[in-house]
Amino acid sequence: MLINQLPGLNYSFKKPEHLHLALTHRSYGPVNNERLEFLGDAIVGMVVADILFQLHPKFSEGALTRLRSAVVRGETLADIAIKLDLSPYLRIGNDAKNSGARRRRSILGDTLEAVFAAVYLDGGYLEVVRVITELTGETIANLPDIESLKDPKSRLQEWLQSRGREVPEYQLVSESGASHAREFTVECRLVDADVSYIATASSRRKAQQAAAVQMLDHLSKV
Amino acid sequence: MLINQLPGLNYSFKKPEHLHLALTHRSYGPVNNERLEFLGDAIVGMVVADILFQLHPKFSEGALTRLRSAVVRGETLADIAIKLDLSPYLRIGNDAKNSGARRRRSILGDTLEAVFAAVYLDGGYLEVVRVITELTGETIANLPDIESLKDPKSRLQEWLQSRGREVPEYQLVSESGASHAREFTVECRLVDADVSYIATASSRRKAQQAAAVQMLDHLSKV
């Protein structure tokens, strides 16, 4: 008989087949949870975006993006799946069952996404919002300080400003390559000290960030 | 007075402020549509995932992923924004107003995402599903043949099979680098001909795809 509930999941399926399919890994056979995983990944991305948007009305889109990545990445979803004790309910082939811990964690995170899609298909949008809100609540409440999630350029600027120092200058040193494979070389320079670092990347922004990382590293050592 | 409707958008805002904010580009001032764009990007990603999931019950998650990318990428959203004639309603700084066509297209696509978020906040999930379904309908109906969206490895396999030839072999040649910066070198070899190509990438799968691209390129020339 098919089950219509999981112990840690506060939702009863009207159609147990939805849950059944969500728990079936591709190693089990051709009818599996991969399509549900595709849908569930999009669902959890949107629901967590909405939760964070409402929770932090003053945060920039950059801060929201970083917070969301911390919640929806595979590692975090795997942790939630383990807390839910999803593992004994997985329908999985023997090869996958005996694979290493890292692969098993990744399968658990993917399965949780498929379960979210199953709740959505079975109960609708508001039900999946409720379920995801409950399951991610602890993670969202314990997100690392937004500082540590900031991009290097912002961190460098704030590090300097908090010490009464001038903000750094970024200068494009060179630009090369065909239009689809452009390379940007950028210099990050401290205005009030004779220190500069140079980095190259596929966009001006990425090169600036990479140069800022080196500068932060330098400053943390002097 | 604030408007509560756009000519091409089949939705009337209860709170015109939602629409107003969605149409305000960051070049206009510090209160702008960037947070809405973050939310709208997630919304359109999920809604289009759901539409395609329902529309193509036999498609693999790989095919669904490729189709979705074709719908939600900036270029496509910009086209929809242009059809909607969003441009005259944008609140935008003079610098951005006078920027090149490419940047203006990108601003239009981003603004459309913000408008989706505004509809969601103003009218709820079902309303934004209706609006996105209407606006993306033509694009979704005219998506390129799923073949041309397939990944190189699949295309190579089907190219060979359709000619009665053996499927290629992929072999891991080497694996190096620290765990966070691993590099995989993979060889793609034709079993029935003395041809092989080698590629290196950050995952085994990516290296296989890169080697398959070279093989497809070779086969297209012989």
pLDDT of residue A146: 67
User: Cβ distance A130 to A123 under 8 Å?
Assistant: no
- Could you tell me the pTM of the whole model? 0.71
Domains of chain B plus CATH, in order, are 16-144 (1.10.1520.10), 152-221 (3.30.160.20)
Q: Give the rounded percent of residues in chain B with a pLDDT score beyond 70.
A: 97
Q: What band does B145 get if pLDDT is binned at 50, 70 and 90? A: low
Q: Please give the ipTM for the structure prediction.
A: 0.71
Q: What band does B39 get if pLDDT is binned at 50, 70 and 90? A: very high
Contact A50 B42 (CB under 8 A): yes
Reply yes or no on whether the pLDDT at B193 is more than 90: no
> Which is more confidently placed, A45 or B217?
A45
Q: Which residues in B lie closer than 8 A to residue A49 (C-beta atoms)?
A: 38-39, 41-43
Contact B35 A59 (CB under 8 A): yes
Q: Which residues of B touch A (CB under 8 A)?
A: 34-35, 37-39, 41-43, 45-46, 49-50, 53, 59-61, 64-65, 68, 120, 125-126
What mean pLDDT is predicted for residues B74-98? 91
pLDDT of residue B47: 98
Q: Which residues in A lie closer than 8 A to residue B100 (C-beta atoms)?
A: none
Q: Nearest C-alpha of chain A: how many angstroms from B47?
A: 8
pLDDT of residue A95: 80
Q: How many angstroms separate the CA atoms of B113 and B45, rounded? A: 10
Q: Nearest C-alpha of chain A: how many angstroms from B209?
A: 18
Q: Which residues in A lie closer than 8 A to residue B41 (C-beta atoms)?
A: 49
Contact B35 A61 (CB under 8 A): yes
> Which is more confidently placed, A214 or B50?
B50
> Residue B44: closest CA among chain A residues belongs to which residue?
A46
Q: In terms of Cα–Cα distance, which of B42, B77, B175 is closest to A129?
A: B42
What mean pLDDT is predicted for residues B34-52? 98
Q: Nearest C-alpha of chain A: how many angstroms from B129?
A: 11
Per-residue pLDDT of chain A (222 residues; tens, 9 = 90+): 789 999 889 999 999 999 999 999 999 988 999 999 999 999 999 999 999 999 999 898 988 999 999 999 999 999 999 999 999 999 998 887 787 777 889 999 999 999 999 999 999 999 999 999 999 999 999 887 666 667 889 889 888 888 888 899 999 999 988 877 788 999 999 988 889 999 998 889 889 998 998 898 888 877
Q: How many angstroms separate the CA atoms of B19 and B121, rounded? A: 10
Size of interface A-B (CB pairs under 8 A): 57
What mean pLDDT is predicted for residues B200-204? 88
Q: What band does B54 get if pLDDT is binned at 50, 70 and 90? A: very high
pLDDT of residue B9: 93
pLDDT of residue B146: 67
pLDDT of residue B147: 60
pLDDT of residue B149: 65
Out of B17, B34, B37, B41, pick the active-site residue.
B41
Q: Give catalytic residues of A, as residue numbers.
A: 41, 113
Active site residue B41: yes
pLDDT of residue B2: 83
> Which is more confidently placed, A147 or B59?
B59
Q: Nearest C-alpha of chain B: how many angstroms from A69?
A: 12
Q: Give helix then strand counts, H and E, for chain A.
A: 9, 3
DSSP A130-195: HHHHHHHHHHHHTPPPGGGGS-HHHHHHHHHHHTTPPPPEEEEEEEES-GGG-EEEEEEE-TTSS-
Q: How many angstroms separate the CA atoms of A190 and B66, rounded? A: 44
pLDDT of residue B103: 81
Reply yes or no on whether the pLDDT at B222 is more than 80: no
Q: How many angstroms separate the CA atoms of A185 and A174, rounded? A: 5
Q: Which residues of A touch B (CB under 8 A)?
A: 34-35, 37-39, 41-43, 45-46, 49-50, 53, 59-61, 64-65, 68, 120, 125-126
Q: Nearest C-alpha of chain A: how many angstroms from B46?
A: 5
Q: Which residues in A lie closer than 8 A to residue B38 (C-beta atoms)?
A: 49, 53, 61, 64-65
